[in-house]
């Protein structure tokens, strides 16, 4: 009996060890195998390409799990989801409604483009499943205008990675095209969709004409490139259109980038900024940036600015953006004069 009990304890311990080896990914894989095909497919279609690949590998790895491990995985799933809420459900729609109501549609769209994830579209989703090298080959074989539209649907990081695989002359051409894109027709979008899928839908099934690309997209891509490449591209764009190059460069340095300055350099900047500009500029700053700016000031100066912010009435968004541009202009001038230095993304400011 003692031997039997000892054997049972050993088995329970081994089972416990086996359960500990089941990872979160394997738990998800077990659940996927327990769902029927339609349920599993609905979950899979919501995943990013890399997530789907990792989950597929995990599903093969758990094919031989036993009943105890399955029960353990279900318990783990229930434990992890017990405190989950529905707060994230359609949160993007909620944020959009609130911002449009507060700021008006044009201003809300401009601001949300800076922080919101790109809206999913058929083209954007398809691009996620195409290898970077294949996209580079595709844009090299298509007219620059079509290639620029494709790039506008990519994340800045993916676009920067892809751009480094094409010829320098084409890099410059594509950045310029992205910066100057205007409304794109539904027919053109359908053509691009057809490039990514053998049987593309009709223009009516894709979307109405839409505004894509722009200076901010170009700036975001360039910020993801190495310094040498970004400088070469800007130089090439300037030869083509000096005004566009300057506008792209302006978008490469925004108020939030002040976070990349050292405490000493932030102090140097704010000492040259009048409080009439700094107070409204800080209204649109993140709490982290505000804290960093206040830390770079003397206690008395920080308290004075804080008091002015508390006492001043709410400012129109245009006034906040204008004030922030004023601070940025001073900071850029100081960078050009070598008084301060900053590095952001792939492009260095010295």
pLDDT tens, residue by residue, 12-36: 444 444 444 567 778 888 878 888 8
Taking only Cα atoms into account, the Rg of the chain, rounded to an integer number of angstroms, comes to 26
Q: What is the pTM of this model?
A: 0.45
Hey, what domains does the chain have and what are their CATH numbers?
2-81 (no CATH), 124-247 (1.10.220.30), 254-349 (1.10.220.30)
For residues 53 and 323, the model is more confident at: 323
> Sign of dihedral through CA atoms 141, 251, 158, 192?
negative
Q: Residue 234, exposed/middle/buried by CB under 10 A (0-12, 13-18, 19+)?
A: buried
Residue 174 to residues 146, 246, 264: CA-CA distances in angstroms?
A: 10, 16, 38
Residue 254: other Cβ atoms inside 10 A? 16
Residue 218 pLDDT exceeds 80: yes
First-to-last C-alpha distance (Å) of the chain: 79
How much is the pLDDT for 247? 84
- Whether the CB-CB separation of 177 and 241 falls below 8 Å is answered with no
DSSP assignment of 299-329: HHHHHHHHHHHHHSPP--HHHHHHHHHHHHH
> Sign of dihedral through CA atoms 231, 225, 130, 148?
negative
C-alpha–C-alpha distance, residues 306 and 96, integer Å: 30
98: its two tokens: 């609130």
Q: What is the pLDDT of residues 162-214, one digit of tens each?
A: 999 998 889 999 999 888 887 777 777 777 777 776 433 333 444 445 566 77
């Amino acid at each position: 009996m003692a031997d039997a009990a000892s054997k049972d304890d050993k088995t329970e311990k081994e089972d416990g060890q086996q359960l500990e080896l089941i990872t979160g990914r394997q738990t998800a894989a077990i659940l996927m195998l327990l769902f029927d095909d339609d349920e599993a497919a609905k979950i899979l279609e919501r995943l990013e390409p890399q997530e789907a690949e990792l989950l597929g590998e995990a599903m093969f790895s758990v094919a031989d799990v036993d009943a105890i491990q399955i029960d353990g995985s279900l318990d783990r799933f229930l434990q992890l989801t017990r405190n989950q809420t529905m707060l994230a459900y359609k949160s993007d729609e909620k944020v959009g409604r609130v911002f449009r109501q507060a700021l008006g549609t044009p201003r809300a769209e401009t601001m949300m483009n800076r922080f919101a994830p790109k809206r999913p579209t058929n083209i954007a989703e398809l691009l996620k499943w195409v290898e970077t090298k294949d996209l580079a080959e595709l844009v090299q074989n298509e007219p620059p205008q079509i290639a620029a539209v494709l790039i506008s649907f990519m994340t800045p990081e993916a676009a920067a990675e892809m751009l480094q695989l094409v010829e320098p002359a084409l890099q410059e051409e594509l950045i310029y095209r992205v910066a100057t894109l205007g409304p794109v027709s539904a027919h053109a979008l359908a053509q691009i969709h057809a490039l990514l899928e053998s049987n593309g839908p009709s223009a009516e099934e894709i979307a109405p004409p839409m505004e894509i690309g722009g200076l901010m997209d170009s700036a975001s891509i360039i910020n993801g490139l190495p310094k040498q490449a970004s400088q070469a591209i800007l130089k090439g764009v300037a030869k083509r259109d000096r005004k566009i190059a300057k506008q792209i460069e302006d978008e490469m340095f925004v108020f939030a980038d002040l976070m990349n300055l050292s405490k000493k350099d932030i102090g140097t900047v704010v000492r040259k900024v009048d409080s009439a500009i700094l107070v409204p500029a800080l209204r649109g700053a993140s709490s982290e940036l505000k804290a960093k700016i206040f830390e770079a000031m003397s206690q008395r100066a920080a308290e004075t600015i804080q008091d002015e912010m508390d006492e001043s009435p709410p400012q129109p968004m245009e006034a906040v953006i204008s004030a922030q541009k004023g601070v940025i202009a001073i900071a850029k001038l100081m960078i050009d004069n070598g008084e301060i230095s900053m590095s952001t993304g792939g492009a260095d400011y010295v």
